[in-house]
Amino acid sequence: MPDVPLRFLVVEDNSADVRLMTHELMQAGFRPEVVCVETESEYIAHLGTHPDLILCDYNLPQFDALRALELLQERALDIPFLIVSGSIGEEIAVQAIKRGANDYLLMDRLGRLGSAVQSALDQRRFRKAERSAREELARDALLLATVRDSIVVTDLDGIVTYWNEGATRLFGWAAKEMLGRHYMDRFPEALRPIIAREMATRVIGTEWNGEVRNHHKDGTILWTHLRTVDIRDASGQRIGILRTAYDIGERKRAEEERAAAQEQRETMLLENARLLRSVAETAIQQKKFLKDVLSSVTEGRLTLCDSSSELPGPSAASPSPTESPEDDLAPAAVSLTAESLRQLRRQVEMVATACGLPMERQWDFLMAVGEASMNAVVHAGGGVGQVFGNAATGTVQVWITDHGTGIELASLPRATLERGYSTAGTLGHGFWMILQTCDRVYLLTGVLGTTVVLEQAIVPPSPAWLQPR
């Protein structure tokens, strides 16, 4: 057993027994720091110091172990509580365990004290981890509830394990109606064999996306764009299937009307820009889930980075073999203050003009840079802005870095989707506007600060759903 320093609150009026318990703890490999109390008032006072563990005699002249346990629970303190007494009846011991004591020991059997203490500490660690996991899942569920697309997760047998509000809005089935049921149960019984055969044609282990006819709970037929992907655990084993869908009924009806009027005119199918890659059981997987959602709803404009290695290289730093050094433009960095914002704006105008950006594209980009740099000044107390350009590729890039407290990730979906919403962090107001006026935005944020990279090219990039895979 490791040499672990622990603070013990011992409720005992016999100093010899205290010495015996201390000796036994040291023999078990602990390094005990013992505080001994005898009265209820002393006990209450020392509970406020949050000891690591409580050892309590059953009977004291002024109060007993059950009263001590009651006082501990009234304060909602998660401190392991062991009863150590010279004599205690089995009925009383069982009663104490039912009321919340971790264990009980007799003084003539102290050899078990070390293992009992270790077991109680392990139980507390488990409870703490369990609470943390529940809180994290609750936060993730709240975050996913803000996504308007339908998100459904099933295990490999087709049993629904997650059903968000978007799925309820699209299909009419509430989460409580679908959780624990087979995914096929929401289809009319007569159609289930047909749908099962269609699903069987999709290759297991590959992503799939396309337009499908779906069904609302009330029997209405829905045209939806559906994407499916396998969910894998840390070892790469398939553990479930993620399905995202959104309603394309209005567009489909418009296409059918145009086809009837223009004699079988075909239209290109729209695709989702991004597919959520996995549903996480850990904080890292949940963040990846959020990254994919934000990329999807912004049609690939926003990239949420986990580390600096995921940020793009400066446009002027790596010219292609066909480019010359003269093509690279990189003015000096600007320390951002309210007074220096004009200097940064002039640099952007100069580099954008040199790279050949049309005036309308320049105006859009200047608006995005202005929003991002002003928010760094207002919400983070300043920062550094630097402009890069490559005349050969016609690309302008602006890096804005600050050392503020970062942006709370849970607020990003609303900041991305709602005009004027404030993250109360570095981006503040206007993040929606930045995404509307800029080709690409890379965001790296944490407690040590935020880096935003804005990119604009001569010609807007194709939507993510039109780009080759």
Look at residue 426 in the predicted model and tell me its pLDDT: 47
Closest CA to 460 of 299, 292, 267, 293: 299
Last residue of a domain, one of 99, 133, 167: 133
Residue ranges in 201-263 assigned as alpha helix (H): 249-261
Q: Are residues 243 and 116 part of one domain?
A: no
- Tens-binned pLDDT, residue by residue, of the chain (469 aa): 555 688 999 999 888 889 999 998 898 889 999 999 988 999 999 998 999 999 998 888 878 888 999 999 899 889 999 988 877 777 777 888 888 888 888 888 888 888 889 998 898 888 888 887 777 766 666 666 666 788 888 888 888 888 888 888 888 888 888 888 888 777 777 667 766 766 665 556 667 788 877 788 888 888 888 888 888 888 888 888 888 888 888 887 787 778 766 767 665 545 444 544 544 465 556 667 666 666 666 777 888 888 888 898 886 543 333 344 445 577 889 999 989 899 999 999 999 999 999 999 999 999 989 888 888 888 888 899 999 999 999 999 999 999 888 777 666 666 565 555 555 554 555 777 888 889 999 999 888 889 999 999 998 887 665 566 5
CB atoms within 10 A of CB 332: 8
Look at residue 132 in the predicted model and tell me its pLDDT: 78
Closest CA to 407 of 387, 386, 429: 429
Q: Are residues 396 and 273 part of one domain?
A: no
Q: Are residues 159 and 24 part of one domain?
A: no
Q: Are residues 322 and 248 part of one domain?
A: no
Q: Are residues 72 and 163 part of one domain?
A: no
Asked whether residue 293 is domain-assigned, the answer is no
Estimate to the nearest angstrom the gap between the alpha carbon of 178 and the chain centroid: 24
Last residue of a domain, one of 80, 98, 133: 133
Q: Are residues 125 and 154 part of one domain?
A: no
Q: What is the dihedral of CA 257, 259, 263, 269, to 10 degrees?
A: 170
Asked whether residue 139 is domain-assigned, the answer is no
Q: Are residues 427 and 326 part of one domain?
A: yes
Look at residue 346 in the predicted model and tell me its pLDDT: 94
Q: Which residues contact 17 (CB under 8 A, 6 or more apart)?
A: 57, 84, 86, 107
Asked whether residue 306 is domain-assigned, the answer is yes
Asked whether residue 275 is domain-assigned, the answer is yes
Q: Which helix (H) or strand (E) holds 171?
A: helix 165-171
Q: Look up the CATH number of the domain holding residue 257.
A: 3.30.450.20
Q: Are residues 426 and 381 part of one domain?
A: yes
Last residue of a domain, one of 222, 252, 281: 281
Q: Are residues 129 and 151 part of one domain?
A: no
Residue 465 to residue 423: CA distance in whole angstroms: 28
Q: What is the dihedral of CA 308, 311, 317, 319, to 10 degrees?
A: 140
Q: Are residues 158 and 59 part of one domain?
A: no
Q: Are residues 445 and 343 part of one domain?
A: yes
The number of folded domains in the chain is: 3
Asked whether residue 297 is domain-assigned, the answer is no
Asked whether residue 87 is domain-assigned, the answer is yes
Look at residue 458 in the predicted model and tell me its pLDDT: 93
- The bridge status of strand 160-163 relative to strand 208-215 is unpaired
Look at residue 86 in the predicted model and tell me its pLDDT: 78
The residue segments making up the domain with residue 40 are 4-133
Q: Look up the CATH number of the domain holding residue 81.
A: 3.40.50.2300
Q: Look up the CATH number of the domain holding residue 399.
A: 3.30.565.10
Q: Which residues contact 16 (CB under 8 A, 6 or more apart)?
A: none
Asked whether residue 382 is domain-assigned, the answer is yes
Look at residue 285 in the predicted model and tell me its pLDDT: 61
Q: Are residues 265 and 180 part of one domain?
A: yes
Asked whether residue 296 is domain-assigned, the answer is no
Pull the structure tokens for residue 135: 């809180």
